[in-house]
Structure 1
Amino acid sequence: SSCVLYRQPHAIPRFLALCMLHAIVLEKWCLKRALATGLRFSGTEALQLLPKKERALINGKTLAKYNEVVRNCAREKRWQAAVFLLDQVVARNLKPDVVTYTSAGVGCKNAHKWQRALWIFGAMKHEVLPDAVAYGMAIGACEKGLLWEGSLFLLSDMLHQSVAPNAFTYSATMSACNRATRWLCSLQLFKTLPSRKAVDSFVCNAAITACEKGRQWRDALHVLINMEALSIRSDRVSFNATISACDKAHAWDHALHLLYGMRAARCSPELVTYNATMSALGRAHQWKLAVGLLRSMPKSVEPDVVTYSVLIEALG
């Protein structure tokens, strides 16, 4: 199965071809492509995107100063400025490091310019060894581009390069699979995680979301229960996805139990939570419970069209 690609080096060639098509594995020209494509302004205009304080920093013309400004640009989704600064570092022969490339890539990824983020990652691989943060950036770009196979390839490449994946890279890969409706791949990856250190709330939530998409409500409950055993705090995403899985599987009693259990977990239900629970009740024609749940909703949670639609279904 392609889902376990990251543990099968012999399977890489097929995905290598795929990734080349999507400009994940790149030649040196890709940095020029990343720097040039879509930038419709001159260097002077690009500098105007930087506050005076940041322009003063790069006047020092040291890589450390450039990296500081590129990180700021990435954080604030100023991808054009981040790409321009990377271009300046290259032009000044300052030899960009993994921080420079990764920060510029994050800026592009955060601004939904995922193709450009992948071009930058590919260019980085020809100059410096990417670290776990850099791979996480590229995998996150694959997630935005729905390139689930690309995310699995990158996870495999991390192991090949002896770069240890972390919880973020695993959760991003699982999310990429979930978004591309490859929920089974996401679950298989979750079940093969190497250690407790690779698991956090984001990884667990990605696994629960995969269960929800696959209508695997028992598996979703299992992950949710195990979060407590692993001292990982469940949140609204955890409960909402599990309740939604129960709803799709007509397990209305479990959905209702989970909603009430949220309070014990110091997690306040929101409208999405109530709607998913009422939907489960509606499918089972448990109209009395549905009406009671509607009446028990706090004033801070206002019913919407979905709420009344599922209530009508319950009454029908």
Structure 2
Amino acid sequence: MKEIDRIVGEDIATENTNTDLDDMCSLAKKGKVEEVRAMLEADTLCHLTRAHNLLLSAMAHQGLAVDAAEHLALMNMEGPEPNQASFALAIKACGPSHDWVRALQILSTLKSTGMKLTAETYQHAIGIVCSARQWQLALNLVDEMEARRLPPTERVLNQAICASDHAGDFESAKRYEAALRRQGITPNGVALGALVSASYKAKKPEETLQYFEERLASCSEIPSATLWTLAIRSHVQLKKPQEGLALFLDALRRGVSADQRMLTAAIGSCKDAGNWEAALGLLQRFEALGGVRPDQVAYSTALQALQKAGQADRAVALLVEMKQRGVEPSPFTYLTVMLALERAKDSKRLFSVVGLLFQDCREEIGEKDVLQVLRVCARVRSATAVLFVLQRAGERGGASAPTAAVYVEAMGALRKMEEWAKAFAVFRAARAAGAKLRPDAYGEA
């Protein structure tokens, strides 16, 4: 009987106060929180859930997450009893501040009431969780929707594709894509971009290019430099560097502002196509095209193109330019130049670059790097260079200090050169340094 009285009373009150509610609605749409609150205090409105929801709507418009949560709690304690829309509006209020924790707390309270949840409520919560970059939580909410037999909306499915990309879950991204397409809907531009990214991370270059072409064809907005970069790299992965370079040129024709990664990917295409001239040309035009200076990766990629083409002189010159421009070479950069000099059989300059590596390189030179340098020295059959590497690695110390594996590699190289005395001297030095060698290590080497 009380429930009937409450419903009837609300209906009568609503009928008698339509004008006030219309005014409140207009104010709520403008986010006029204090004006709506003042009207709510009138005796004819304060007992109406709809009126309280209009205040929550104004708070949601302004992004007042704390105020909305507090007012919802007040409704729970003092009435009128909040309905499903009340909770949905309080969750929506958490959006502008990305307050995903509060949004999920409100959602949890809603679940505990036993009210029927709607797809729209989940949509608000998922949007907030995604905006806060809580990707796995977003996917959990989508799964929860499906478990409750609430079909995810188009917006939710697009967001789920993006969340799957960030979570590194390509299969889930494809599942949500399929759900959209079953409804006859193409993923939006952002979701298609996420599919490009997710397929690239999953090492699916063919699918990466398919999604990129669809993104290019279906959206008026030109893809970002990041998406072009992934497509260029995918062509390279498919051993089609010329297509990658053509795609780069297409991007420039479309007015895309190339960034460092995109330009470096284009240089990589030139490298794999064996076109060192184009690689150097892009490096020289780096700032003109992208408005940024080439970084270590860009220089190293261009150096690889020169090394692959046997352009030792140009490789050395580029290393010098790199250092002059304040770009610090990595151990890999130095090694690339060494390989170019090895190919040119230029032991003298190779020896100099080895010295520069241990003297100037600011990055950590680890065991793997030292082993690679030793192998280059061994291939040019320079015992002096092998011993020099051990000496400089020892002087540098830290991660560069010779390990048991390094000593064994050096001994093996010297023995192949029939430098028996030097190999034995290295064995003795290793034992003196406390390297944990097997008793027969000298013989094994």
TM-score, with structure 2 as normaliser: 0.52
Q: Does 1:120 align with 2:120?
A: no
Worse-matched range after superposition: 275-284 or 306-315: 306-315
Against the structure 1 CA distance between its residues 288 and 101, is the aligned structure 2 distance closer, same or farther, given a 3 Å change threshold? farther
Match of 1:48 in 2: none
Partner of 1:66: 126
For the residues of structure 2 that align with 1:83 and 1:183, how far apart are their CA atoms? 36
Of 128, 131, 142 in structure 1, the residue corresponding to residue 199 of structure 2 is: 142
Please point out which of 286, 289, 292 is paired with 1:232. 292
Match of 2:233 in 1: 175
- Check conservation: 2:173, 2:195, Cα contact below 8 A: yes
Measure, in 2, the Cα distance between the counterparts of 1:64 and 1:256.
58
SS of residue matched to 1:304: helix
Structure 1 alignment gaps of length 5 or more: 1-50
Aligned to 2:250: 192
Which has the bigger relative contact order, CA under 8 A and spacing at least 6? 1
8 A Cα contact 2:158 2:188, kept in partner:
no
Q: 2:143 aligns with which of 65, 87, 99?
A: 87
Task: Give the Cα separation in 1 of the matches to 2:296 and 2:158.
Answer: 31
* Residue 127 of structure 1: how far off its partner (Å): 6.9
Secondary structure at the counterpart of residue 307 of structure 1: helix
The aligned amino acid for 2:265 is A
State how far apart, in whole Å, the 2-side matches of 1:258 and 1:106 are: 41
Check whether the contact 1:70–1:85 (CA below 8 A) recurs between aligned residues: no
> Percent of counterpart pairs with the same letter?
22
Partner of residue 349 from structure 2, selected from 286, 289, 292: 289
Cα displacement string for residues 139-163 of structure 1 (whole angstroms, at most 9, x for unaligned residues)? 1122234433323322332243233
In 1, Cα distance between equivalents of 2:107 and 2:315 = 55
- Aligned twin of 1:310: 376
Match of 2:81 in 1: none
Separation (CA, whole Å) in 2 of partners of 1:173 and 1:272: 25
Q: CA deviation at 1:244?
A: 0.9
> RMSD in angstroms over aligned alpha carbons?
2.8
Counterpart AA for 1:138:
L
Other-structure match for 2:434: none
Aligned-partner Cα distance in 2 for 1:127–1:266: 54
Letter of the structure 2 residue corresponding to residue 203 of structure 1 = M
Measured against aligned partners, the alpha-carbon deviations of 1:234-284 in whole angstroms (never above 9, x if no partner) come to: 112211111111111111122222222223333211111111111111111
5 Å-filtered alignment, 1:197-276, equals: 197-230=256-289, 231-276=291-336
Gap runs ≥5 in structure 2: 1-99, 111-120, 383-445
| CA distance in structure 1 between the partners assigned to 2:374 and 2:234 by the alignment | 33
The answer to whether the 8 Å contact 1:66/1:89 transfers is no
Once the two structures are TM-superposed, the CA of residue 110 in structure 1 deviates from its matched residue by 4.1
1:28 match: none
Supply the distance in 2 between the matched residues of 1:120 and 1:86 (Cα, whole angstroms).
10
CA distance in 2, matches of 1:129, 1:266: 47
**Counterparts of 1:176 and 1:186 in 2: how far apart (Å)?**
8
